[in-house]
Amino acid sequence: MSHWITLPRMEGITSRQAHADLPSDSYERELGKEGFYGPSTQMYHRHPPTGWVEVEGPLRPRAFDTTRLKSYQASPWEAFPLFSNEHLQWRFWRTKGSMDHLARNADGDELLFIHEGDGDLYCDYGHLAFQEGDYILLPRGTLWRVETEKPLGVLLLEATGDSYRLPDKGIAGSHAVFDPAVLDTPTINEHFLAQQTESEWRVVVKRRDVLSTIIYPFNPLDAVGWHGTLLPVRLNWRDIRPIMSHRYHIPPSVHTTFTTSRFVVCTFCPRPMESDPGALKVPFFHNNDDYDEVIFYHKGEFFSRDNIHPGMMTLHPSGITHGPHPKAFAAGKKALHKETNEVAVMVDARDALAVAEFPSGVEWVGYVDSWK
């Protein structure tokens, strides 16, 4: 067990409560361990901590526009790579039509987030209809394919060598954020039974990032029943009920949807804004010194950023302060908005992320200057 050195002290001009009633003409910056889960200190500055003139080197904040990735891929194994490390592979899959083969990930659990489109997923466990805004969690080794009549845009998040779990909700209770009863599972229904043909099927398996192909003279999705506790689940962001406080801006960790050993997946959903006059109305400036942070903007307008539209992604590497853009900070001080309307998927990765080589025009190179 870790025993952090925790000796709370106050020095100089400070607030009595973090993220509320800041000293006049000051800017709060949080320094923390283990993301937002460990000990932290709030600094109070005369100038915005993101008020840089220039940033050079790999800590430069970056933004990317996945709507500029125009090509379609027939297989999830052809999806465009975005970010990766030893414990995480994040890809973006744009496809249209139905898969003519089955996929199996032997490297780790796969989490799908449906950004665009709808359709049907068939897997070892049965049939599962899906729509925009769904998370679909597939345990490692699950055979699956999708059928669709519309183009799909799908985030693929592989927990390499790991498994997805639900976060500890602590004193909020097991029904907070979302009740596990809302998790849907595949069913062996007439749609599933109807696709159990005796025709030849191809299975493409990924193991250690190498593909193998297995040919069957029948459809191996031929289960007639199952029981157990290892199974795919579906969760739509609309079933998430964010924890919030009208008097205190709660850190992103409270919005955790899934956890692994080395990264967490959070979902930002529409919610009322803080109404207490002294409470911060936007995320506080912070050093996330133990995690790289990536946010995918799915829907709406992200209230702490300018010039961000659905389909964009931002990367804030560990080691550099980040926080709200100046216009958002000013709007928060004036309490111009009463609620947020954004939906976004955030990943906090404990290990540094490698960024893929993007086609020209996908990266917004001026993002680093957007705090000026």
Q: What is residue 223's predicted lDDT score, i.e. its pLDDT?
A: 98
Q: What is residue 302's predicted lDDT score, i.e. its pLDDT?
A: 81
Integer CA distances (angstroms), 360 to 21, 67, 310, 364, in order: 45, 13, 19, 10
- Domain boundaries in the chain? 27-64+242-369, 71-237
* CATH classification (class only), 27-64+242-369: mainly beta
Q: What is residue 215's predicted lDDT score, i.e. its pLDDT?
A: 98
Q: What is residue 336's predicted lDDT score, i.e. its pLDDT?
A: 75
Q: What is residue 252's predicted lDDT score, i.e. its pLDDT?
A: 86
Is 246 labelled a binding residue?
no
Measured in whole angstroms, the distance separating CA 163 from the mean position of its chain's CA atoms is: 15
Q: Is 191 a catalytic residue?
A: no
Q: Considering the candidates 115, 249, 316, 325, report the single residue annotated as catalytic.
A: 249
- 223 and 124 Cβ atoms separated by less than 8 Å: yes
| pLDDT < 50 regions, the chain | none
Q: What is residue 1's predicted lDDT score, i.e. its pLDDT?
A: 61
Same fold? 27-64+242-369, 71-237: yes
- Candidates 292, 293, 314; CA nearest to 305 is 314
Q: pTM for this one?
A: 0.95
Number of other CB atoms surrounding residue 46 within 10 Å:
7
Is 292 labelled a binding residue?
yes
Name the superfamily (CATH) of residues 71-237: Jelly Rolls (2.60.120.10)
Q: What is residue 33's predicted lDDT score, i.e. its pLDDT?
A: 84
Pair of tokens at residue 238: 């609309």
Q: What is residue 4's predicted lDDT score, i.e. its pLDDT?
A: 79
Is 322 labelled a binding residue?
yes
The two beta strands, 27-32 and 40-45, are antiparallel
* CA 18 – CA 38 distance, rounded (Å): 15
Q: Alpha helices, DSSP H only, in the chain?
A: 190-194, 326-333
pLDDT digits (tens, 9 = 90+) for 21-63: 999 999 999 998 887 878 889 999 999 999 999 999 999 999 9
Query: Which residues have C-beta within 8 Å of that of residue 361, sequence separation ≥ 6?
Result: 65, 68
Q: What is residue 326's predicted lDDT score, i.e. its pLDDT?
A: 83
